[in-house]
Amino acid sequence: MHSRGLIYVVLSILCFYGYSQSELPEKKSYTTAWAQTEIVLDGKLDDDAWNQVEWGGDFIGHRPEYNVEPHQETQFKILYDAKFLYVGIRAHDTEPEKIVKRMSRRDGFDGDFVEINIDSYNDKRTAFSFTASVSGVKGDEYVSNNGDDWDSTWDPIWYLRTSVDDKGWIAEFKIPLSQLRFANQEEHTWGIQFTRRIFREEERSTWQPIDPNAPGWVHLFGELKGIKGIKPQKQLEIQPYVLTSYEKYPREKENPFRDTGKEYMGNVGLDAKVGITSDITLDLTFNPDFGQVDADPSTVNLSAFQLFFQERRPFFLEGSNLLSFRTSGGPNNLFYSRRVGGRPHGYPDNVEHIDYPDNTRIIGAAKVTGKNAKGFSWGILESVTNREKADVIYEGGGKGEEIVEPFTNFLVGRVQQDIDGGKTVIGALATNVKRFDNRGNGLEYLHDNATSAGVDVNHNFKDREYGMEFKAMFSKVEGTQGAIYRTQTSSQRFFQRPDNNHKEVDTTRTSLVGSAATLSFGKQNGNWRWRIGSNFKSPELVLNDAGFLRQTDDINNWLWTQYRINKVTNLFRWQNYNIYAEHNNDFGGAITGRGMNFNMNWEFNNYWGFGQGVWVGGTRFSNADLRGGPSIRYPGNVNYWYRLSSNSRKKITVSFNNWFNWGDKDFTKSSGISVNINARPTDAMELSISPNINWNRDNLQYIAQRDFNNDTRYILGKVVQETYSMSIRANYNITPNLTLEYWGQPFLAKGEYSEFKRVDQPSSEAYDRRFTMYENAEIMFDKENQEYQVFETGGEVPDYTFSNPNFNMVQFRSNFVMRWEYIPGSTLFAVWSSNGSYFDQSQGNSFRDLSNQLTDLSGSNTFLIKYTYRFIL
């Protein structure tokens, strides 16, 4: 049965499968009061002011089992004044010696903790979360989309003290009202929720009962009443920084740009947060520096598509969920913040030496966000990046400057309107990238102007038991004929494919307009859940100026269903079982992907975890693997994986992942192993090591294409690729605000090619007719020039050549960071970064050779000190 038909069959079954939602528990409320006397933050709760209000409590079990009596009692009190909200939590414990006091850096969420979520907008969709670990580590998150998104990059200024006694432990919070957002009215009712985690039991209990199978989180909060006479606080925070750095690298005597082997640098910049009104906040950054950010992980990319790397820069991380607009398929998004300040696009020709900038400097960026009492939220991000130049020495002599990146303006805007308490949300997002001086500077191949926009509707009905989502998007890029030609023939599109019957290259175009849409519907609460959807991306869609898009020309239909059991049984603490099926084709009707996945995940009563899954894929066509050549047909495949993890509460924990992939006709075979070993020698220290080994053999790996006799030869080969990597981390918390952190990653990869072949009938049903192997007499390796010579006609002069595709890559990256938040919001960083790499194309290299090269690796070392101070005005 085709996977498309299977989707329809399973959907029909689901439509007849009923589940009745259990009756919602009664909404709790707590009444607070204005603090009449001073509260000293000491983690004791012995100030007279705390006697003004009663204890709240009666927590109920949430996980692993809902609606049961928790192992320990939890109580709280809440007070406020004109500037602060005060929260005191008494976490009773009959065995205080067993309280787990693990430390971590901010937002580590380790050990025993208590948490308060505050829906001060009372919009039933967003909340501010404050978490206190028993060791005094703070966590804070901005909660949006009714609990679907938790943004831990939100770092407000607030104050915390904890203490442990013979009754358990206490957390005392002092939260400035300036860090919250609320309407300007005389009396307030806020949504509120408390959560407690008892680490040794891996138990979570909540004040307001919320079934783990319920759809959503924030709309089910209890209520905080009694707040009167407070006014929204205008926030003004300014955080300048001063940075000095020293870089040391191997001397290159003949390169005047690197002949000293060292470089000194200083820099200054500024971040600011301004509360324009009670509903609007402005974030600013001028000449930002992200020197303390971890490097991206090493990788080898043999595909036709660019790789996606996670955003790591704090300015762009905070509030990133507001400016997100996912399309479909992995990381595809209308806005990908790594485009701002990324590596320059240009690289000059005919140069002997070059001093090339690593990144484009961000001159300044501003982010304005707001939400009013009527549920209308909005955000605007504006950023300007510098014109970047590279100093060069040309071949044959002579110095000069070459522009490698034009002045560029990035603009992103997002609006959303909540309707009926967030049951319906309507929104839109738009992006624009404007380049000012790419023409006449050798950068005419870049778009002059790129715009994208989308609208989305999310509607929940029948008490949020069912949900529907719809999105529609469009894009438009403008530029020279050469720029638009380059866009049409890029790896996302390949309009020039000889068998592309639904799109063709137009060399006269100076703009390109594309579209995309997605629609899904499903059941989103209870033990049994399902969702069905369909989406498309037109061939002309272009998002990669401001967003991320791996490939266009796709129509995707899919179905997902899950059965979960969040109840303790004789064997398991929880279980879930999932089925996913999809069918993909391009706009010409060719099947580009289809298959079905089944997986299951369990946690046993001894806190060990196990999961496994299998993907069965059918015959498919790739429009991209021949890099502009015809589509190539691939046999089906089977992928199996499993994982095993030990009890995460122990001092030493281990997780193990293993996967295997088999292709029909034996055209490919691969496997991988990853292990994570985590150790907690003390509550203040955490060590982890994560080795990974991946092996891949692909008989149809693309190598090159060459012209021959008025035809194009698409050359494939068998590649055997081995990759070894290991992530090493060590964190030591001297105090909750003073941490030492180390990250290092050795990376070794090798690829050896053989069994070279040329493509003949790439879409033939017969696998052997899709290519022809080169005979021994037809191909010869020229070791001196590191290339293969092909003699199809049998003469003495090669008909064409292609470079040796073998590769050996060794790399080591590391960061050592001392981070001291000496007062809330003000930080001192001391950083040592190391980066070394080696690459060659020799044949027959072994792992031993690669590992020897790792020990002899030389590279750059950077030392920097960065000092920030936050002024609160």
Task: Report the pLDDT value the prediction gives residue 96, as an integer from 0 to 100.
Answer: 96
Q: Is residue 808 in a domain?
A: no
Tens digit of each residue's pLDDT (9 = 90 or more) over 597-611: 999 999 999 999 999
Q: Which domain holds residue 119?
A: 32-228
Per-residue pLDDT at 221 exceeds 90: yes
Beta bridge partners of 56: 76
Q: How far is CA 166 from CA 90, 91, 98, 198, in A?
A: 12, 11, 11, 16
- State the Cα–Cα distance between residues 535 and 257, nearest whole angstrom: 50
Rounded Cα distance between 733 and 99, Å, is 18
Q: Residue 647: pLDDT band by 50, 70, 90 thresholds? A: very high
Digit-coded pLDDT (tens) for 244-278: 999 998 898 888 988 898 999 898 999 888 888 76
Question: How many Cα atoms within 13 Å fall on the side-chain side of residue 101?
Answer: 17
3: part of which helix (H) or strand (E)? Answer: helix 3-16
Judge whether residue 757 has pLDDT over 50.
yes
Q: What is the pLDDT of residue 135?
A: 95
Judge whether 753 lies within some domain.
no
Please give the average per-residue pLDDT across 147-153, as a whole number: 88
What percentage of the chain reaches a pLDDT higher than 70? 95
Q: Is residue 816 part of a domain?
A: no
Q: What is the mean pLDDT of residues 20-43?
A: 87
Rounded mean pLDDT of 527-532?
Answer: 96
453 vs 432: CA distance, rounded Å:
9
Q: How far apart are CA 465 and CA 803, in angstroms?
A: 59
Q: Can you give the pLDDT at residue 603?
A: 96
C-beta neighbour count of 52 within 10 angstroms? 15
Q: Which pLDDT score, from 0 to 100, does residue 711 have?
A: 93
State residue 46 phi and psi, 5-degree precision. Answer: -110, 10
For residue 15, what pLDDT is reported?
44
| pLDDT for residue 370 | 85
C-alpha atoms less than 13 angstroms from C-alpha of 595 in its C-beta half-sphere: 16
Least confident of 313-317, 795-799, 863-867: 313-317
**Residue with token string 């750095």:** 245
Which residue is associated with the tokens 């023409």? 439
Q: What is the mean pLDDT of residues 353-368?
A: 91
Pairing of strands 399-405, 127-133: unpaired
Residue 572 maps to a domain: no
Q: What is the pLDDT of residue 664?
A: 96
And the tokens for 147? 């609990």
Tokens standing for residue 510? 């100076």
- State pTM to two decimals: 0.88
Between strands 222-228 and 29-31, the pairing is: parallel
Nearest to 490 by CA among 363, 708, 305: 305
Q: Cβ(337)–Cβ(362) under 8 Å?
A: no
- Residue range 775-789: average pLDDT? 93
pLDDT score recorded for residue 12: 45
pLDDT band at 4 (very low <50, low <70, confident <90, very high): very low
Q: Is residue 205 domain-resident?
A: yes
| pLDDT over 60 at 416, yes or no | yes
- Selected residue with higher pLDDT from 311 and 26: 26
**Predicted pLDDT at 843:** 62
Q: What is the pLDDT of residue 527?
A: 93
What pLDDT does residue 18 have?
41
Tell me which residue of 776, 786, 785, 782 sits closest to 756, measured CA to CA. 776
Residues 656, 642 contacting (CB under 8 angstroms): no
Predicted confidence at residue 292, as pLDDT, reads 64
**Domain for residue 512, yes or no?**
no
pLDDT surpasses 80 at 791: yes
Residue-wise pLDDT tens digits, 197-209: 999 999 999 999 9
pLDDT in tens, 805-860: 999 999 999 999 999 999 888 999 999 999 988 888 776 566 666 677 777 777 88
Q: What is the CATH number of the domain that holds 154?
A: 2.60.40.1190
Report how many domains make up the chain. 1
pLDDT band for position 23 (50/70/90)? low
Residue 66 falls inside a structural domain: yes
pLDDT (tens digit per residue) in 701-724? 999 999 999 999 999 999 999 999
Structure confidence at residue 7 (pLDDT): 45
pLDDT of res. 275: 81
Residue 413 has pLDDT above 90, yes or no: yes
Is a pLDDT exceeding 60 seen at residue 17? no
User: Chain-wide mean pLDDT for the chain?
Assistant: 91
The pLDDT of residue 590: 93
Token pair 């990759």 in the structure block, residue: 723
What was the pLDDT predicted at 1?
40
Q: Is residue 794 part of a domain?
A: no
Query: Residue 290: is its pLDDT beyond 60?
Result: yes
Q: Cβ distance 427 to 468 under 8 Å? A: no
What is the length of the chain?
873
Q: How confident is the model at residue 56 (pLDDT cuts 50, 70, 90)?
A: very high
CA angle 462, 464, 467 (to 5 degrees): 95
Which CA distances in Å does 276 have to 185, 284, 415? 18, 12, 18
